[in-house]
Amino acid sequence: MKIDWHISSLTRSTNVVNDYKNTQNVRRFMVDECGPDFRFDREFMAWIKNDVPKNLGDVVDEWRRRHPI
């Protein structure tokens, strides 16, 4: 199933697929899940797109691992 990263409803179970985009919609989801300090950086964006199967829950968990409260 193709995801429109700009407008689709995103959940932790949304699969990160080859056409993944760092959109404002994804940023809103990540801020909701990770808090107002969430930021994309180059290393993290590269990890998201590293061709290892993952979902947005994995992405949230990895950001939290890298940025413990």
Each domain of the chain, given as residue ranges in start order, spans 15-66
Task: Give the span between the Cα atoms of 41 and 30, in whole angstroms.
Answer: 13
Tens of pLDDT, residues 17-68: 989 999 999 999 999 999 999 999 999 999 999 999 999 999 999 999 999 9
d(CA 58, CA 53): 9
Query: CB–CB of 15/33 below 8 Å?
Result: no
pTM of the model: 0.93
